[in-house]
């Protein structure tokens, strides 16, 4: 009997298991998980265990299917509320930011690598997008609790910038494969028209396909075990259909996932769990295949220039692009700097770097090897430092609530309702005697293996399993009632102020006690409305409003964005504003340049004007 099938299966499963076990290291030490996946692939390849894999087309095919699965899951798990909150800045970063990064990096690469301008731009396009899997994992594994708008911007950007980078890369490969280099005007026109057509078709196919999937699921009575397979197959059908008619299959599958995940369809939790697990498998397979395809011995001659280009991307191209894109959206300098830093490159960059090889370009292998080194540099330099940088910039806020031990169950015939199973956590409000509202009275309590009615259970104790049948639109109040005590770092003990005030009280109470100057219009507002007004109409968890000599901190908001919890700090100036590292902020670079020019500029009129200008620049900085 032919033993090949057993040998291939043995090696393949061993690699997947090795990559899966490496996740334990990543979660324990906060290491960039995808770097470990790549390491397993590299260690098993031609220069490691000797597994020979040099089929570029197969690697690209496997990687593309895996990326389609990842993007569908990314869209499926993104609530519309988060998407709307961050759509404008995130989509600007995903389009203009990708173009700027490509242009800046490509122009620099042209002067340092033996590539023509289009080939340099091709390398820039390949490494222009951030990796959604890397961003999601590091934010979660590092327990980095950011403000909602900042986190949403990072997540939506990383999920939407891949289609643009893919379009740029494939278009440039096609142009270079023809052998005739167009002039700048023709190239710009071709890119603009092609971009509009490619993305437009992809978005339309994704919209139609997404709503079609929802309608089919509602019409068909599928078995729970078959439903996730059915949804996945339709997602890949949408991906293939969009690509076959000249659209972006990757944009189509992301849009379809966004629609399906927010449609409130039956058995959504079953599909979500399946998609989450399959997305992990897709990431593992994708990185293993890309790692196997690479040949580390080829990196040696170009490692120095590849590392230099990686650092150029991290410290120059990405910060400038992010700074320019976020100018209209009111992000602070620490937030802009952090978004610049969380621009990790990953599997998509390596996958796109294969296209010059499949396209038969002369320098295809060089572009692939450089992109691989750049990705390694990004994962090592940025991946290990996201948590410390967020803390240094003062962007981490205390968690909103403690541990919630909850399972969501869907029952046949229970449209728009769910069975929630909570395990009572020690220190939670219900364990301390807080009453559960009437609209969410438990149907069953299991204590010590014995079932009983809620009315007969008495006061809930830690370890009780409580089953509540409730509408799927239930408020967050339930999670708060069953959440354990929040673990707050001692340094953050006074983050939300010395004490709380009722946001429904009139703002004039603050003026009467502390004397902060209020306008006539503000005197007619409540404290909560005053906070929202000072924040531009929308408050967010952990926002701060200075009303000298006090500072108001948003402790909580409800589902509609209304302030329902406010803290008061009596020492608002005790904590100095965090200083942004100069290499992370283009705005900081510009201010330093202005200061430098002011200090060393000489004029015939003497030193007085120079000194005044320098002082003015220092004040501005």
For β-strands 444-447 and 499-501, DSSP reports them as unpaired
Identify the three-state secondary structure at position 420: strand
Q: Say whether pLDDT at 543 is over 70.
A: yes
Contact by Cβ (8 Å): 299, 368: no
Residue 446: count of CB within 10 angstroms of its CB: 16
Torsion (CA) 615, 619, 620, 621 in degrees, nearest 10: 100
For β-strands 563-569 and 550-557, DSSP reports them as antiparallel
Tell me how many degrees the CA angle 367-349-259 measures, rounded to the nearest 5.
Answer: 150
DSSP 316: I
Phi, psi of 281 (to 5 degrees): -65, -40
List, for residues 349-405, the tens digit of each pLDDT value. Answer: 999 999 999 988 989 999 999 999 999 999 888 887 887 888 888 888 776 655 565
Distance CA 74, CA 66 (A): 12
- pLDDT confidence tier of residue 28, bands split at 50, 70 and 90: low
pLDDT at res. 10 = 78
Most confident residue range from 263-267, 293-297, 311-315, 602-606: 311-315
**Taking Cα atoms as reference points, which of 492, 354, 295 lies closest to residue 64?**
354
Can you read off the two tokens belonging to residue 85? 């909150």
Taking residues 205-209, what's their average pLDDT?
Answer: 95
Which comes out higher in pLDDT, residue 5 or 125? 125
Establish whether the linkage from the previous residue to 81 is cis, with ω within 30° of 0.
no
Q: Say whether pLDDT at 180 is over 80.
A: no
**Taking Cα atoms as reference points, which of 424, 426, 398 lies closest to residue 487?**
398
Q: Say whether pLDDT at 617 is over 90.
A: no
For β-strands 444-447 and 563-569, DSSP reports them as unpaired
Contact by Cβ (8 Å): 286, 69: no
Quote the mean pLDDT of the chain.
80
Give the CA distances from residue 566 to residues 139, 525, 540, 543, 556, in Å, rounded to whole numbers and listed in that order. Answer: 27, 15, 11, 10, 7
pLDDT at res. 621 = 36
The residues, any chain, with a CB within 8 Å of residue 14's CB and separated by 6 or more, are none
Distance CA 364, CA 91 (A): 30
Can you read off the two tokens belonging to residue 162? 């891949």
List, for residues 558-611, the tens digit of each pLDDT value. Answer: 766 788 888 888 776 444 556 666 556 666 666 665 666 666 665 444 444 444
pLDDT at res. 7 = 73
The CATH number of domain 4-47+56-392, selected from 1.10.10.10, 3.40.50.10300, 3.40.50.1820, 1.20.1530.20: 1.20.1530.20
List, for residues 183-195, the tens digit of each pLDDT value. Answer: 767 777 777 888 8
- pLDDT confidence tier of residue 120, bands split at 50, 70 and 90: very high
**Taking Cα atoms as reference points, which of 71, 358, 16, 350 lies closest to residue 236?**
71
DSSP 129: S
Distance CA 236, CA 70 (A): 11
Distance CA 596, CA 123 (A): 34
Q: Is 233 exposed, middle or buried (CB count within 10 Å of its CB: 0-12, 13-18, 19+)? A: exposed
Q: Is 557 exposed, middle or buried (CB count within 10 Å of its CB: 0-12, 13-18, 19+)? A: buried
* Chain center to CA of 476: 23
Can you read off the two tokens belonging to residue 592? 């330093």
Distance CA 275, CA 227 (A): 11
pLDDT at res. 151 = 85
pLDDT at res. 96 = 93
4-47+56-392 against 405-482: fold identical: no
Strand arrangement of the beta sheet that strand 444-447 belongs to: 405-409, 417-423, 465-471, 444-447, 450-452
pLDDT at res. 30 = 54
Strand arrangement of the beta sheet that strand 550-557 belongs to: 499-501, 563-569, 550-557, 544-547
**Taking Cα atoms as reference points, which of 363, 384, 367, 365 lies closest to residue 314?**
384
Can you read off the two tokens belonging to residue 145? 């609790």
Most confident residue range from 133-142, 146-155, 316-325: 316-325
Distance CA 586, CA 96 (A): 16
Distance CA 538, CA 531 (A): 9
Residue 386: count of CB within 10 angstroms of its CB: 22
* Chain center to CA of 436: 35
Ordered by start, the domain boundaries in the chain are 4-47+56-392, 405-482, 491-569, 585-620
Q: What CATH number should be reported for the domain whose range is 491-569?
A: 3.30.465.10
- pLDDT confidence tier of residue 618, bands split at 50, 70 and 90: very low
pLDDT at res. 585 = 60
Distance CA 489, CA 483 (A): 18
Can you read off the two tokens belonging to residue 343? 């621009």
Can you read off the two tokens belonging to residue 619? 């004040």
**114-118, 447-451, 485-489: least confident range:** 485-489
Contact by Cβ (8 Å): 252, 209: yes
Taking residues 507-520, what's their average pLDDT?
Answer: 83
**31-40, 117-126, 254-263: least confident range:** 31-40
552: β partners = 545, 568
Which comes out higher in pLDDT, residue 24 or 577? 24
- pLDDT confidence tier of residue 516, bands split at 50, 70 and 90: confident
Distance CA 316, CA 333 (A): 16
The CATH class for the domain spanning 405-482 reads alpha beta
Please tell me the pTM assigned to this model. 0.80
- pLDDT confidence tier of residue 407, bands split at 50, 70 and 90: low
Distance CA 255, CA 267 (A): 20
Can you read off the two tokens belonging to residue 541? 């968890």
pLDDT at res. 53 = 83
């Amino acid at each position: 009997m032919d033993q090949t099938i057993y040998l291939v299966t043995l090696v393949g499963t061993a690699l997947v298991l090795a990559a899966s076990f490496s996740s334990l290291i990543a979660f324990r030490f906060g290491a960039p998980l995808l770097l470990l996946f790549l390491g397993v692939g590299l260690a098993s390849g031609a220069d490691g265990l000797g597994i020979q894999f040099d089929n570029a087309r197969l690697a690209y095919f496997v990687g593309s299917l895996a990326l389609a699965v990842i993007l569908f899951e990314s869209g499926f798990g993104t609530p519309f509320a988060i998407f709307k909150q961050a759509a404008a800045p995130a989509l600007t970063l995903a389009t203009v930011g990708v173009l700027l990064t490509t242009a800046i990096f490509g122009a620099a690469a042209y002067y340092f690598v033996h590539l023509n301008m289009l080939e340099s731009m091709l390398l820039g396009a390949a490494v222009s997008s951030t990796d959604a899997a890397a961003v999601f994992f590091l934010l979660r594994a590092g327990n980095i609790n950011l403000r909602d708008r900042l986190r949403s911007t990072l997540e939506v950007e990383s999920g939407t910038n891949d289609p643009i980078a893919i379009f740029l890369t494939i278009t440039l490969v096609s142009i270079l494969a023809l052998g005739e280099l167009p002039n700048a005007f023709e190239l710009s026109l071709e890119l603009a028209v092609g971009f509009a057509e490619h993305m437009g078709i992809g978005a339309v196919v994704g919209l139609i396909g997404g709503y079609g999937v929802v309608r089919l699921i509602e019409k068909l009575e599928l078995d729970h075990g078959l439903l996730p397979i059915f949804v996945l197959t339709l997602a890949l059908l949408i991906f293939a259909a969009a690509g076959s008619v000249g659209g972006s299959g990757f944009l189509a599958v992301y849009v379809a996932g966004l629609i399906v995940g927010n449609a409130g369809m039956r058995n959504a939790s079953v599909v979500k769990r399946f998609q989450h697990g399959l997305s992990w498998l897709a990431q593992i397979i994708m990185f293993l295949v890309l790692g196997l395809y690479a040949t580390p011995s080829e990196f040696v001659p170009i490692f120095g220039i590849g590392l230099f280009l990686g650092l150029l991307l991290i410290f120059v191209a990405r910060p400038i692009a992010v700074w320019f894109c976020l100018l209209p959206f009111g992000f602070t300098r620490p937030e802009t700097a952090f978004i610049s830093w969380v621009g990790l490159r990953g599997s998509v960059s390596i996958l796109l770097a294969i296209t010059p090889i499949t396209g038969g370009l002369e320098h295809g292998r060089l572009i692939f090897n450089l992109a691989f080194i750049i990705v390694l540099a990004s994962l090592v330099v940025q991946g290990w430092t996201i948590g410390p940088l967020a803390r240094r910039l003062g962007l981490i806020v205390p968690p909103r609530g403690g541990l919630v031990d909850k399972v969501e169950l869907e029952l046949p015939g229970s449209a728009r309702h769910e069975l929630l199973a909570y395990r009572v956590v020690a220190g939670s409000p219900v364990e301390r005697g807080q009453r559960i509202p009437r609209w969410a009275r438990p149907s069953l309590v299991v204590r010590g293996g014995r079932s009983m009615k809620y009315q007969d259970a008495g006061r809930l104790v830690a370890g009780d399993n409580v089953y509540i049948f409730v509408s799927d639109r239930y408020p967050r109040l339930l999670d708060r009632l069953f959440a354990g005590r929040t673990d707050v770092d001692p340094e953050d003990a006074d983050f939300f102020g010395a004490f709380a005030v009722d946001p429904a009280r009139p703002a004039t109470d603050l003026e009467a006690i502390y004397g902060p100057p209020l306008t006539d219009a503000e005197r007619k507002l409540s404290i909560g409305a005053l906070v929202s007004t000072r924040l531009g109409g929308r408050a967010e968890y952990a926002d701060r409003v200075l009303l000298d000599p006090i500072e108001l901190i948003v402790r909580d908001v409800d589902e509609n964005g209304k302030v329902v919890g406010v803290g008061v700090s009596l020492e608002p100036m005790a904590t100095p504003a965090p200083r942004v590292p100069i290499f992370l902020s283009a705005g900081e670079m510009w201010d330093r340049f202005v200061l430098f020019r002011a200090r060393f500029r000489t004029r015939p009129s003497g030193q007085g004007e120079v000194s005044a200008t320098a002082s003015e620049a220092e004040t501005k900085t």
